[in-house]
Amino acid sequence: MLSPFILLTGDSVFIRVKRGAAQQNPRKYILDDQELQRVSALARIELEDAKAELQRAQKAADAIEKRVVSGGDEVADDDEDNDAWVE
């Protein structure tokens, strides 16, 4: 099954499907305000999760850079920090 790319911008929704994968008789969907709010809430949650993951990655990169600059080991044995990345 294909996973199309969905982009929500303002009042419009764009769906990009791989060439040749479109249906001959496509299904029509009517998006009411409630469904649009639900999709928007899900996208907001995913965005917040991505921001949190980016912040964790930046902190980890900063910590590695500090160790390299200070002459410490480039790779640390911080099992606690590594476990935080496993979800």
Q: What tens digit of pLDDT does each residue of 23-52 get? A: 778 788 788 899 889 999 999 999 999 999
Is 80 exceeded by the pLDDT of residue 75? no
Is 50 exceeded by the pLDDT of residue 1? no
| Under 8 Å between Cβ of 67 and 73 | yes
What pTM does this model have?
Answer: 0.46
Mean pLDDT score, 40-65? 94
State the pLDDT at residue 28.
Answer: 82
State the pLDDT at residue 30.
Answer: 80
State the pLDDT at residue 87.
Answer: 53
Cα-based torsion angle of the residue sequence 5, 46, 32, 13 in order, rounded to the nearest 10 degrees: -30
DSSP letter string, 28-83: -----HHHHHHHHHHHHHHHHHHHHHHHHHHHHHHHHHHHHHTT--SS---HHHHH
